[in-house]
Chain A
Amino acid sequence: MARRRTARQPALPTVLVLPAAALLLLALGYPLARQVVLSLQEFGLAQQFGRPPEWVGLGNYRALVGDSYLWAVVLRTVAFCFVNAALTMGIGVGIALLMTRMSRWVRIAVQSGLLLTWATPVVAAMIVWQFLFDTQYGVVNSLLTTLGADYDGHAWLAEPLSFFTVATMVVVWMSVPFVVFTTYAALTQVSDDVVEAAEIDGAGAWQRFVHVVLPTVRPVLLVVLLLQVIWDLRVFTQIYTLQKAGGITRDTNLLGTYIYTLGIKGGDFGTAAAAAMFMLLLTVVLTAPYIRIMFRQEET
């Protein structure tokens, strides 16, 4: 029987949470409300400089839904997000498991490398990646050519598929450290006694991993996966930079860059806001299952 501790709740926790909640409301609530309003208006460059906007109801949405290009971009975005989140999780968890078996010095070396990757500013990293894959002076082309393959002057970013391969490498490279650190931290919490007991009971390495280790770190993995899906869904900087370096913009737009193209580049902020609502919806739809699982875990 639970003790009736909840009868008089102290006010302190509520007070402590208030500033954060107020900030969240200000930092997220205002832009969100503004976005909804914007998506119902014809809002172009002239409005940006003070002309009153015109209400168009759902006109922006109608124009978007009727354009098959939006759906192509949505599909591309979802596919890119899944592939990247899956690869990041797979590689990240793999390295984390490996780290539990490493000797101390090797582990410190690996951790330092990962930390540096994590700490590199995106734009600085992108300059290095662009140089690696440059058509004319790129290191990758030069290496492959030295090895005997004919990659002299190969344009990596010209074809959409090859463009996204490079983009995936960059995105995964940047996100793996976070997964490794979080997963490794969780793995150190797995009780040695339990694992040993399972071993004595005759469980093989794979069985121990699936039935003992995995359930213990599951909550952490779920949170990390959730974050990963959200991050890969709204990936922007990497795609934007690679597009400028040579990708065909129209064939390589993901939702993030598409919204940017519509709004900031194309000066049509109303339609851009409507497209951003799609992105919000997509995020909610894709992450809802995880959030539900997470809540269910909290209850038990």
Chain B
Amino acid sequence: MVRNKRLLAIAAIAALLSVTSACGSDDKESATSGGPEEADMVVWLNGADTPQAARDWLKETFEKEHPGSTLTIEEQEWDGLVERLTTALSSEDQTPDVVEVGNTQAPTFTTAGAFSDLTDDLEELGGDDLLPGFVEGATVDGRTYAVPYYAGSTYVFYRKDLFDKAGLEVPRTMDEFVATATALKAANPQDDFSGYWLPGQDWRDGAAFLWDAGGDFAAPDGDGWKGTLSTPESIEGLTTFQTLFEDASGAPADANEADPVTPFCAGKIGMMSRPGWVMGLLTDPEAGCPDLAEKVGVFALPGSDGEPAPVLLGGSDIAVAAQTPNQDLARDIVALMLSDEYQGILAENGLTPARQSLTSLLGDDEFAQATIEAASNAKLTPAAANWATVEGTRILEDLFSQIAQGGDVEELAAEADERITAELN
């Protein structure tokens, strides 16, 4: 039958077309174990966190110190990073040389052997001066596989002019904070106005309310881990999150916190918890809104006891990919990223430097104060080896979003506990 032959021909052509050309690497090989002396290096940085000045400095300095080599920074989205690292890091041809990874995501890769052992370089990179919680988080059986890049906990940005208009003052306790957020929303009764901007999926900022009430995501249980979201303390914290979302937030229940700039610049946000570098985005004359940014004040989220609330200790690690042949060059890049100059640029932009001795570079304005205060009581996510898969499978985004949609907190928390326990063990 004629049609049959034609089908066969089409299949053959399709098969031929589907052969993709493999891209080869043209790096010069050398006999030493540390890799070639010249190579085209690729660094993965995530999101808009790292300021442009720091990127430019890194590229220029590295290329000057290593004539013949180049450095390319590829920006990755935070969203979906674990998946991208999982696939890219395992292939020698595709792997970036140096990667930034969220401090809470690092343990998954350090325990899997995805990163090179940096223990012997640790002293040179800063030793005890490096942020201790970060180094511990990246250490497995006494060997360290990643070093801190920067820390940055979120603190509260608020619109001073809206506070004045509503006759409100900066809250000093958690109860006052909830009341202030609700009152601010009541004073600006548009649907999409947020007294406190809290997108439904934003569990990272939601964590502060969970921890302030004495709850947590998971706790060690025998040899393994157990989800603890349905303990009475956790339920109380999650309920506060729900109340805040319902009474004070105008953000969508199914959105994440990736873009605070659009609603802020539209004048729809009274307060929001964001890391310090977001200020840079707000003051940007093109992408931001300098006139509204001028009216911003900041404070550390207060806890129930009047001290700063336990917010998520955010931040990043940097690591050298275990699969890259350019080990020595990659280590040089890490050293540059921890240098005084580079970390100084980060500090100017509101990121807490990776080395404690450089904290003073943050300055002493209200932003620096809020940064330091917020970090003083900051907490890490559970130190389970598989924690990144809990983040990767979006259990927490699902949970917080469903709570924001008005779901039954106890039921949802119990379900999430089961899933967390299953992922962690």
Question: Chain A: residues with CB nearer than 8 A to chain B?
Answer: 16-17, 19-20, 23-24, 27, 44-46, 48-51, 135-137, 152-153, 155, 157-158, 219, 243-251, 260-261, 264-268, 298
A-B contact pairs, 21 of them (CB 8 A): A16-B12, A19-B16, A27-B18, A27-B19, A45-B108, A45-B112, A46-B113, A48-B90, A49-B89, A135-B253, A135-B255, A136-B251, A152-B192, A158-B254, A246-B201, A248-B401, A248-B402, A249-B394, A251-B398, A266-B389, A267-B389
Given A20-B11, A135-B254, are A249 and B87 neighbors across the interface (CB < 8 Å)? no
- Contact indicator B114/A45 (Cβ below 8 Å): yes
- Contact indicator B90/A158 (Cβ below 8 Å): no
- Looking at the assembled complex, report how far the CB atom of B392 sits from the nearest CB atom of chain A, in whole angstroms: 4
Give the distance in Å from the alpha carbon of A158 to the alpha carbon of B200 in the complex. Answer: 11
Give the distance in Å from the alpha carbon of A45 to the alpha carbon of B423 in the complex. Answer: 13
Question: Known pairs A153-B252, A158-B254, A267-B392. 8 more at Cβ < 8 A?
Answer: A16-B12, A23-B16, A24-B15, A48-B114, A49-B114, A135-B253, A250-B398, A260-B83
Given A20-B11, A264-B83, are A45 and B393 neighbors across the interface (CB < 8 Å)? no
- Contact indicator B1/A298 (Cβ below 8 Å): yes
* Contact partners of B124 in chain A: CB under 8 A: none
What is the interface of chain B mostly: helix, strand, loop, or mixed?
helix
The reply on B304 being an interface residue by CB < 8 A is no
Q: Which of A136, A261, A264 has the most CB of B within 10 A?
A: A136
* Contact partners of B386 in chain A: CB under 8 A: 267
- Looking at the assembled complex, report how far the CB atom of A123 sits from the nearest CB atom of chain B, in whole angstroms: 13
- Contact indicator A247/B393 (Cβ below 8 Å): no
Q: B322 — nearest CB in chain A belongs to which residue? A: A49
Give the distance in Å from the alpha carbon of A136 to the alpha carbon of B268 in the complex. Answer: 11
- Looking at the assembled complex, report how far the CB atom of B395 sits from the nearest CB atom of chain A, in whole angstroms: 8
Closest A-B pairs by Cβ, 9 of them: A246-B254, A135-B252, A45-B112, A20-B12, A265-B392, A49-B113, A46-B112, A249-B394, A20-B15
Q: B323 — nearest CB in chain A belongs to which residue? A: A49
- Looking at the assembled complex, report how far the CB atom of B105 sits from the nearest CB atom of chain A, in whole angstroms: 11
Given A45-B112, A298-B1, are A266 and B392 neighbors across the interface (CB < 8 Å)? yes
Interface hits, B349-406 → A, CB 8 Å: 386, 388-389, 392-395, 397-398, 401-402, 405
Q: B77 — nearest CB in chain A belongs to which residue? A: A244
Give the distance in Å from the alpha carbon of A51 to the alpha carbon of B263 in the complex. Answer: 47
- Contact indicator B252/A155 (Cβ below 8 Å): yes
- The contact string, 1 if C-beta is below 8 Å from chain A, for chain B 1-29, is 10110001001100110110000000000
- Contact indicator B392/A158 (Cβ below 8 Å): no
Give the distance in Å from the alpha carbon of A253 to the alpha carbon of B388 in the complex. Answer: 20
- Contact indicator B393/A261 (Cβ below 8 Å): yes
- Contact indicator A249/B82 (Cβ below 8 Å): no
- Contact indicator A266/B423 (Cβ below 8 Å): yes
Q: How large is the interface on B (under 10, 10 to 19, 20 to 34, 35 or more residues)?
A: 35 or more
The reply on B164 being an interface residue by CB < 8 A is no
Give the distance in Å from the alpha carbon of A248 to the alpha carbon of B394 in the complex. Answer: 9
- Contact indicator B393/A17 (Cβ below 8 Å): no
- Looking at the assembled complex, report how far the CB atom of B204 sits from the nearest CB atom of chain A, in whole angstroms: 16
- The contact string, 1 if C-beta is below 8 Å from chain A, for chain B 399-425, is 001100100000000000001000100
Q: A252 — nearest CB in chain B belongs to which residue? A: B398
- Contact indicator A48/B86 (Cβ below 8 Å): yes
* Contact partners of B82 in chain A: CB under 8 A: 265
Give the distance in Å from the alpha carbon of A251 to the alpha carbon of B407 in the complex. Answer: 14
- Contact indicator A157/B254 (Cβ below 8 Å): yes
Give the distance in Å from the alpha carbon of A249 to the alpha carbon of B392 in the complex. Answer: 11
- Contact indicator B15/A152 (Cβ below 8 Å): no
- Contact indicator A44/B255 (Cβ below 8 Å): no
- Contact indicator B109/A136 (Cβ below 8 Å): no
Q: A156 — nearest CB in chain B belongs to which residue? A: B254
- The contact string, 1 if C-beta is below 8 Å from chain A, for chain B 106-135, is 001101111000000000000000000000
* Contact partners of A48 in chain B: CB under 8 A: 86, 90, 112, 114
* Contact partners of B393 in chain A: CB under 8 A: 249, 261, 265-266
The reply on B189 being an interface residue by CB < 8 A is no
Q: A24 — nearest CB in chain B belongs to which residue? A: B15
Given A16-B12, A50-B113, A249-B397, are A155 and B254 neighbors across the interface (CB < 8 Å)? yes
- Looking at the assembled complex, report how far the CB atom of A17 sits from the nearest CB atom of chain B, in whole angstroms: 7
- Contact indicator A158/B253 (Cβ below 8 Å): yes
- Contact indicator B86/A45 (Cβ below 8 Å): yes
* Contact partners of B392 in chain A: CB under 8 A: 265-267
* Contact partners of A155 in chain B: CB under 8 A: 252-254, 405
Give the distance in Å from the alpha carbon of A27 to the alpha carbon of B398 in the complex. Answer: 37
Interface hits, B225-254 → A, CB 8 Å: 251-254
- Looking at the assembled complex, report how far the CB atom of A176 sits from the nearest CB atom of chain B, in whole angstroms: 21
Q: A163 — nearest CB in chain B belongs to which residue? A: B254
Partner of B87, one of A248, A264, A268: A264
- Looking at the assembled complex, report how far the CB atom of B342 sits from the nearest CB atom of chain A, in whole angstroms: 29
* Contact partners of A136 in chain B: CB under 8 A: 192, 251-252, 255, 263
Give the distance in Å from the alpha carbon of A127 to the alpha carbon of B109 in the complex. Answer: 31
- Contact indicator B19/A23 (Cβ below 8 Å): yes
* Contact partners of A45 in chain B: CB under 8 A: 86, 108-109, 111-112, 114
Give the distance in Å from the alpha carbon of A251 to the alpha carbon of B405 in the complex. Answer: 14
- Contact indicator B108/A267 (Cβ below 8 Å): yes
Give the distance in Å from the alpha carbon of A155 to the alpha carbon of B199 in the complex. Answer: 12
* Contact partners of A137 in chain B: CB under 8 A: 262
- The contact string, 1 if C-beta is below 8 Å from chain A, for chain B 260-279, is 00110000000000000000
* Contact partners of A267 in chain B: CB under 8 A: 86, 108, 112, 386, 388-389, 392
- Contact indicator A153/B191 (Cβ below 8 Å): yes
- Contact indicator A46/B405 (Cβ below 8 Å): no
Q: B90 — nearest CB in chain A belongs to which residue? A: A48
Give the distance in Å from the alpha carbon of A141 to the alpha carbon of B89 in the complex. Answer: 41
- Contact indicator B15/A246 (Cβ below 8 Å): no
Give the distance in Å from the alpha carbon of A237 to the alpha carbon of B254 in the complex. Answer: 19
